[in-house]
Amino acid sequence: MAGAWWRGGEVAQVTVLPGAARIQAGDGETVLRAALRSGFRYRWGCKRGGCGVCKVRLVVGEVRYERPIAANVLTETERAAGICLSCRAVPVTDLIIELQEGDRLQGASLRGGNSAGP
Amino acid sequence: MGVMRLGFVHLRVTDLEEARNHYSNTLGMHVVAEEPGKLHLKCWDEWDHHSLVLEEGGVGLVKLGYKCQTGEDLERFEQRAQRFGATTGRVSKGENLAVGDGVRIALPSEHVIELYTDMEFSGTETGSLNPEAWPRTMRGAGTNWIDHALCPAEDPALVERFFMECLDFRPAERAVTDPAHPELIGTWMFCGESPHDIAFIKGPNGKLHHFAFHLGDWSDILRAGDIFSMDDVSIDVGPTRHGITRGTTIYFFDPAGNRNEVFAGGYRTGPDFPTITWTEDQLGKGIFYITRELNDRFTTVFT
């Protein structure tokens, strides 16, 4: 559950609110990629960290970013408030994330999703 | 006389090396000059020194450069812009690598454009003497040239009026809410005979929606799609056709999240082109002709 530490090769569990669906993220896998690969969808944009549309609130847990993020896409204030850019955020621990108001997790009709990989 | 075309796009990217790979290997541009934190690139069928400046740090547009025919054009446009109430400034030769003197204008939409007449000539890759049809060493999608840009604006009508009154652009196509009480929500404007050289849709000031590369035809677009898959490019929409311009297209994102387009087809405009109008209820058909559905990202994803 939340707070469990994991090293490379193991899986991080990401719980998505609202709804509490559980997604497994693989080694180095971003939150968005894990969701899409698992057959789920929520609101995303460029999938490359430039537009900010995929921001979610990190309720519990830690993430890291392996690429530079533009300061105006994810501000220091937002980071401090627990907002994360889900297309670039890689779980460091198990996570609980909350989607933006009005957004909800949807399942794609086929396992693996019918949208292009992130 | 007047503005000829979009001459260069100056773009911010979070990772310069990833951007170099995308614009050169995937899209086929060549790097023609490097400075610390900055790359200059051009497409094979462009004859000026460069058409894209990539600057490391952040995302989105720094400015758009529009090439004009004469110095008198620059003076006239500068005066008109000042009378309109826009902030202008002078750009000195060399401030932009390989570009001569110019006029900088802050648009009502908070975008910056620079008008200039001179850029160092370096020729197309196929040359001007008994040329081949395309370069044998063409890489990736082999884009021909940078064609246009689309930017969001809080007040599309105001920035449309600026381009018409100050720079002699005309709208080829416009999107309005309700024909009975029309509010302008999109305008696609030309200065030569292209379908458009700049466009604005309702959205936040100062941002970039996309800039577009020209390709020859549908088969080039489809081939580009295959290249994008091979290179793990993030795809937005397509391959499909636009109702606006009739052009065939793929929208996709560079590694920093800036939206690009490859675009083929369209029609010929000109000073007497009859402006086309789209109503908001048909905008799905206007943007994505085949599915006739607007996708959420088109109106919300900007850098």
| Catalytic-role residue among B23, B66, B116, B251 | B251
Contact of B228 with chain A, judged by CB distance below 8 Å, is answered with: no
Q: Which residue has the higher pLDDT, A11 or A16?
A: A16
Residue B130 CB coordination number (10 Å)? 6
Domain range list for chain B: 3-116, 145-300
- Answer yes or no: are the C-beta atoms of B91 and B135 closer than 8 Å: no
- Answer yes or no: are the C-beta atoms of A67 and A88 closer than 8 Å: yes
Please indicate whether, in this complex, the C-beta atoms of B302 and A68 are within 8 angstroms of each other.
Answer: no
State which amino acid sits at residue A14. V
Please indicate whether, in this complex, the C-beta atoms of A46 and B58 are within 8 angstroms of each other.
Answer: no
> In the prediction, which pLDDT does B64 show?
98
| B214 flagged as catalytic | no
Chain A to chain B, count of Cβ pairs less than 8 Å apart? 64
Predicted TM-score (pTM) of this structure:
0.94
State which amino acid sits at residue A112. G
Task: Identify residues of A whose CB sits under 8 angstroms from chain B CBs.
Answer: 43, 45-51, 53, 67-73, 116-118
What are the C-alpha distances in Å from B178 to residues B181, B186, B298? 5, 13, 20
Q: Is the dihedral of CA B243, B295, B109, B106 positive or negative?
A: negative
Q: Which residues of chain B have pLDDT under 50?
A: none
Please indicate whether, in this complex, the C-beta atoms of B257 and A48 are within 8 angstroms of each other.
Answer: yes
Q: What is the DSSP string of chain B?
A: --EEEEEEEEEEES-HHHHHIIIIIIT--EEEEEETTEEEEE-TT--BS-SEEEEESSSEEEEEEEEES-HHHHHHHHHHHHHHT-EEEEE-TTSSTTB--EEEEE-TTS-EEEEES-B-B---SS-SSS--SS-TT--TT---EEEEEEEEES-HHHHHHHHHHHH--EEEEEEEEETTEEEEEEEEEESSSSS-SEEEEES-TT---EEEEE-SSHHHHHHHHHHHHHTTPEEEEEEEE-SSS--EEEEEE-TTS-EEEEEE------TTPPPEEEEGGGHHHHHSTTT----HHHHH---
> In the prediction, which pLDDT does A57 show?
97
- Give B26's strand partners: none
| B23 flagged as catalytic | no
Residue A116 pLDDT greater than 80, yes or no = no
Please indicate whether, in this complex, the C-beta atoms of A49 and B296 are within 8 angstroms of each other.
Answer: no
| Residue B96 to residue B94: CA distance in whole angstroms | 5
Cβ contacts of B232 on chain A, cutoff 8 Å: 117
> In the prediction, which pLDDT does A114 show?
39
> In the prediction, which pLDDT does A9 show?
58
CATH topology of domain A12-100: Ubiquitin-like (UB roll) (3.10.20)
For residue A1, name the pLDDT band (cuts at 50, 70, 90): very low
Given the cut 0.95, state whether the ipTM is greater than it: no
Please indicate whether, in this complex, the C-beta atoms of B297 and A45 are within 8 angstroms of each other.
Answer: yes
Identify the CATH assignment for B145-300 out of 2.60.40.10, 3.40.50.620, 3.30.360.10, 3.10.180.10. 3.10.180.10
Tell me the CATH number for domain B3-116.
3.10.180.10
What the block records as the tokens of B114 is 């620079």
Q: What is the pLDDT of residues A16-49, one digit of tens each?
A: 999 889 999 999 999 999 999 999 999 999 999 9
